[in-house]
Amino acid sequence: SKKKGLSFEEKRARMMEIFFETKDVFQLKDLEKIAPKEKGITSMSVKEILQSLVDDGMVDTDRIGTSNYFWAFPSKALHARKRKLEELESQFEESNQKKEALQKSIEKSKIGREDT
């Protein structure tokens, strides 16, 4: 049977595993060597995957001299998830308060409008 390639999301997850398992800083050429061997990501797609992770703020990058360095640490991912969770919880709370206010407003509107 023919081997099916990895989906884009699977490649992204595997790329993050490289960073989290090694807790190291890499250059693009290093990742292009490591990813195919360890995670089965084709070296041709490494740059595209890496750029999408950088764009989403999951991997940090910095230019030092003429080289670009990439890194991502598990603690940063944890903090990002906690921040996102807190943000969603506060939005949920605000929505609940709006809903309650609208329910009260509906109840007030019904007064004096009984069916005849």
Residue 28 has pLDDT above 60, yes or no: yes
Does 23 share its domain with 37?
Answer: yes
Same domain, 29 and 83: no
Residue 80 lies in a domain: yes
Reading the block at residue 79, the tokens are 């903090």
User: Given this model, what pLDDT does residue 90 score?
Assistant: 96
**Same domain (yes/no): 38, 61:** yes
Token pair of 28 as six digits: 């693009």
Q: Are residues 17 and 67 in the same domain?
A: yes
- Quick one: 46 and 98 in the same domain? no
CATH number at residue 22: 1.10.10.10
Burial pattern 70-109, b for ≥16 Cβ within 10 A else e, equals: bebeeeeeeeeeeeeeeeeeeeeeeeeeeeeeeeeeeeee
Q: Same structural domain for residues 56 and 80?
A: no
- Shared domain check, 24 and 80: no
Do residues 43 and 22 share a domain? yes
49 with 65, same domain: the answer is: yes
Give the whole-number percent of the chain exceeding pLDDT 70: 94
Q: Residue 89 pLDDT more than 50?
A: yes
Q: Is the pLDDT of residue 3 over 60?
A: no
Q: What is the residue range of 97's domain?
A: 75-115
Is 3 domain-assigned? no
pLDDT one-digit tens code per residue, 33-82 = 999 898 888 888 899 999 999 998 889 999 999 999 999 888 877 888 88
